Amino acid sequence: MVKQVMKKLDLLALSVMFVVGALLLVMGFFFPCKKVQASTLAASGSCGCQSDPDSVVWTLDDQGTLKLSGSGPTDSYRSPVLQGSDMIFYVPWGEYVSDIKRVVINEGITSLGKCLFERHTSIIEVSIPSTVTEIEDKAFVNCSSLTQVVLPSGLKSLGEAAFYGSALETITIPSGMTTIPKNAFGQCQSLTRAYLPETVTEIGEQAFHKCTSLPWIRLPSSLKVLE
């Protein structure tokens, strides 16, 4: 009697194992596990100021993330130019511009040079650290896919046309900045909100020119010059 019961239990266990195995095979067929691929380095180089180019280095991975690391200011560059049907970029990652989707600027960088990301139309996200105190002229001009950016609290200087023609939806100028320069946010046609601190004393010519989605701006009481 005991042997018969044990035999039945063994058969039942085998049946359960068979069913479970079959289910796992079916699930594996219809719901295959996706491998998480680690990003790999695609290109790298230096982009520090001319007196110390290796003080800032850049790396680009195969997921489209450009990282700047090091200390001090980046170099400044010429605006890209159209030659025939090709856009020629003078930044060191120029041949990869269309692949760059995200920009991560690490702590230690203090200034973003002229035309650094001009016409980088595939960038959708930028991370700027608290150590950045200056964004120079045209640094993000015509970044037409860039919808949001958080300006660091320590930012003191913003260059002309810094975000001209970008897709920014909101912008908050950090407390401590005194001047919003000429064309800084001109042609940002998706901009719906702009918040200015009480430290701003001057707004340059056409700083918010043709921001057609911006219904109003509350001007700070500290404002002395409105061009």
pLDDT of 29 strictly over 50? no
Q: What is the mean pLDDT of residues 10-38?
A: 50
Q: CA–CA separation, 21 vs 17, rounded Å?
A: 6
**How does pLDDT run across 124-181, given as a tens digit for each residue?**
999 999 999 999 999 999 999 999 999 999 999 999 999 999 999 999 999 999 999 9
Determine the residue type at 101.
K
Determine the residue type at 90.
Y
Produce one character per residue of 190-214: b if its CB has 16 or more CB atoms within 10 Å, e if not: bbeebebeeebeebbebbbeebeeb
Asked which of 27-36, 97-106, 197-206 is least confident by mean pLDDT, the reply is 27-36
**How does pLDDT run across 91-120, given as a tens digit for each residue?**
999 999 999 999 999 999 999 999 999 999
**How does pLDDT run across 36-66, given as a tens digit for each residue?**
456 687 899 999 999 999 999 999 999 999 9
CA neighbor of 193 nearest in space, from 214, 209, 177: 214
The per-residue pLDDT for 40 is 82
Half-sphere exposure of 86 (CA within 13 A, CB side): 6
Name the more confident of 53 and 23. Answer: 53
Q: Vertex 77, ends 169 and 109: CA angle to 5°?
A: 65
Q: CA–CA separation, 129 vs 152, rounded Å?
A: 6
Tokens of 157: 């200087």
pTM to 2 decimals?
Answer: 0.82
Q: CA–CA separation, 79 vs 88, rounded Å?
A: 9
